[in-house]
Amino acid sequence: MNAVCKAHFQSLSYSRKLVVNRMKREPTRFGRILSFNNQVLLLPSSHTSFSKLIVPSSATTHSLHVLADEDRYDISSTEIRRVIKSHFGGYQEGFTCVTVNCPSCNTLSSTNKEASNDLGKLHINLRTGYSFCTRCFLSGPWSSLASYMKALGASKLKSEKTKICPPGITQHLSQYTPTASTAEANEMRQLWNSAQPIHSLSEETLVPFLDKLRLGDLSMDTLEKVGAKINLNLEQLILPCLTTKDAPFHSIKIITPNRNQSETIEPDSGPELDEYYRVEEKNIPKQHPWLLGYHLAKNKDEVIVTATAADTLTALDCLAVPAVCLPSGISNLPLATMAFLESFRKITLWLGHGVQGADCARAFARKLGEKRCRLIRSSEETPSALQCRMKGKNVAQVLKTALPMTHKSVTTFSSLRKDVYAEITQSSTVAGVRWRRFPVLSDLLKGHRRGELTVFTGPTGAGKTTFLSEYSLDLCMQDVRTLWGSFEIRNVRLAKMMLQQFSGLMLESETREMFNVVADEFEKLPMYFLAFHGQQDVTSVLEAMSHAVYVHDISHIVIDNLQFMMGTSSSEHSSMDRYYRQDQIIGSFRRFATDNNVHVTLVIHPRKEAMDELSASSIFGGAKASQEADNVLILQDKRTNDPTCRRKYLEVAKNRYAGDLGVMPLEFHKESLSFAPRNKRTASTKVAAAAAANNNNKVNQFTSSSLQSGRGRAQ
């Protein structure tokens, strides 16, 4: 990673402390007594500050979104190679990593020194410097590995004079541990111990159970090879994620019949998605890097990568090529998981899940190296492996239809044919994720799609940032992984605004316990922040965005706003120079959105003109902004006869996908900082309003109803 990304990211785990500090300084509006967990808490009056009531907790909440300063290091891939070579004496070049003998493994066993053996190797990612050993699971950021190499170099200099022991790498890097709680670890152990091995069950017992999972055609041999167990009482097929045949496992996948009869499928989502809702798959722990089936594929040159355990079992049963299952499905591809896939020269991505799965497969191929990746496009003719078998198709023949990830600048209609058919038959899925808080906007734009550039403008002080905060939060609550870059408003204030929109509560008048409930749920969202403020160089911003897309699989980026990347004005630059510079920046964001298949929302201020109503030509600069954009959204703020009252609405001035133009009336609700219509408010706001009338049950209602109903699955 180049010398621009240090401290470019921060998560809510850091921001929430600053939000609390800001709330302490702001007076609240109500004074009352609230009973919480059988304890009487005095809520502050209008003259009492939070600092007298809130006692900071000593517990530290672990967040998956934390990217600490030591995780980001100013170093390029060339420098990584140079440093590794100078300290380790050489390295093995890979597709995404450089590989060296793991110092920790090699001190335990001399057999790990074989260069051809992938086990006992430390993989250093060339983009981030993150290191991971696929045998002892030693891992850490580049800064930790650099400190080890520095200590190793110092010990070599001292050893020339006196004999001293070299430093241990475990003093700097630590063993990878999944984010599993004690309850998850106990649950995994209990489920595994209570389950029965496959060989102990008769065929009369096994086949009816597998039929419930749509796996009735699986052979006993395949289930035994993966080390499966069955719990007949709980109707669970338990699959361990092994790195070697005899090694202990650190995670399990559980397949059970889907008992949720209320689960519905989108009408245009495609028939190949139907089977994914017939069974449920669960990970314990929820977040981990291990691949199901890896122990059967580790010494092979080719592997099939699937998104579900059922597809992996089907591929193993039907094909000679080994198959593995991604730990998080199509959600994301962790850096540690990429280390396990480093040894394969040919990777076939067969993720299923229709259009969404194809988009994720392309993103994963860019991370893994497009030259070694092939793609099976999910469609009615070539659905998932499980669907192929259930429809009587020859799975081996479908595998032959995998196409290489060819040059992105050259294509033919033959390669576009299936995408065109998907555009016709799966219109709602191709249209993207619909906004739940803004149904009128969904009707106009049809949805939020990857690979597009949206230009957003509006008068100063009209509420552009406030609206975009809720606009992006709506999508993020549907698992659209979002990166926010606000150069005008600091992340603390932005996070506070999002918390209020997320909860529908005026947090200044709430207790610390209520804030913790809201913040804990908000931390679960895939929301990330760029730690920029004020004037920034566009190259630094683009490199930080590229890092986030690579590491966190970001699919939506909000940049507020473009003027902060144009530099300060000086006598050396004419107005034409500023326009040309703006056109260059817009072109860079357009290419970034297309090349990385992410949606970029770019805020551009309008010209300072005395206009009652803005149009696409009101955007500051030349015509390139409106030409390059797929969507142009204008927040109109019209004056009325009453100077204290203004009429606001969102105008869709350009819509390249559907062509529909129109307006969406907006009504601002100050208590929740929301522009969503009152009759279309999210469940979180409704429950929060009900909870405000019943203080004794506020926290319980918010936790059980508000946040769970507010979250949803992306279409």
SS3 track for 67-129: CCHHHCCCCCHHHHHHHHHHHHCCCEECCCEEEEECHHHHHHCHHHHCCCCCCCEEEEECCCC
For residue 103, say if its preceding peptide bond is cis, omega within 30 degrees of 0.
no
Low-confidence ranges of the chain (pLDDT < 70): 1-74, 107-119, 156-167, 177-181, 259-277, 406-408, 567-576, 610-611, 643-644, 678-715
What DSSP element (H or E) covers 593?
A: helix 575-596
Written as one letter, the residue type at 643 is P
d(CA 558, CA 487): 11
- 115: how many CB neighbours lie within 10 A of its CB? 10
β-sheet bridge partners, residue 304 = 323, 348
Burial state string for 281-318 with b = 16 or more CB within 10 A and e = fewer than 16: bebbbeebbbbbbbbbbbeeeebbbbbbbbbbbbbbbb
β-sheet bridge partners, residue 482 = 527, 556
Q: Are 586 and 602 a contacting pair, CB within 8 Å?
A: yes
Q: What φ, ψ does residue 472 adopt, rounded to 5°? A: -75, -35
How much of the chain is helix, strand and coil, in % rounded to 5? 40, 15, 40
User: Can you give the pLDDT at residue 109?
Assistant: 54
**Which among 351, 99, 388, 134 has a CA at the least distance from the CA of 250?**
134
Q: Has this prediction a pTM greater than 0.95?
A: no
| 474 CB burial (10 A radius; 0-12, 13-18, 19+) | buried
d(CA 637, CA 650): 9
**Which among 474, 464, 651, 664 has a CA at the least distance from the CA of 563?**
464
Q: What φ, ψ does residue 416 adopt, rounded to 5°? A: -90, -10
For 596, the token pair is 């990385």
How many helical (H) and strand (E) elements, i.e. helices and strands, does the chain have? 25, 27
d(CA 351, CA 359): 10
For 620-677, the DSSP string reads SSSTHHHHH-SEEEEEEEEE-SSTT-EEEEEEEEEETTT---EEEEE--BTTTTB-S-
Residue 484: how many CA atoms within 13 Å on its side-chain side? 29
User: Can you give the pLDDT at residue 506?
Assistant: 85
- Domains annotated for the chain, with CATH where assigned, are 75-136+138-175 (no CATH), 182-425 (3.40.1360.10), 439-710 (3.40.50.300)
d(CA 325, CA 292): 5
d(CA 437, CA 449): 17
Q: How is residue 606 annotated by DSSP?
A: B
pLDDT digits (tens, 9 = 90+) for 77-132: 889 999 999 888 889 999 999 999 888 887 655 444 444 444 588 999 999 999 99
User: CA angle at residue 324 from 323 to 328, to 5 degrees?
Assistant: 150
Q: Are 399 and 319 a contacting pair, CB within 8 Å?
A: yes
CA distances from 337 to 119, 440, 514, 585 (A): 14, 41, 37, 34
Convert 216-236 into a string of H (helix), E (strand) and C (coil).
CCCCHHHHHHCCCEEECCCCE
**Which among 715, 366, 278, 414 has a CA at the least distance from the CA of 550?**
366
Helices (H), 413-490: 413-425, 427-430, 439-445, 464-476
pLDDT digits (tens, 9 = 90+) for 451-505: 999 999 988 888 999 999 999 999 999 999 999 999 888 999 999 999 999 988 8
User: Can you give the pLDDT at residue 175?
Assistant: 72
Q: Can you give the length of the chain in residues?
A: 715
User: Can you give the pLDDT at residue 47?
Assistant: 35
Collapsed DSSP state (helix, strand, coil) of residue 499: helix
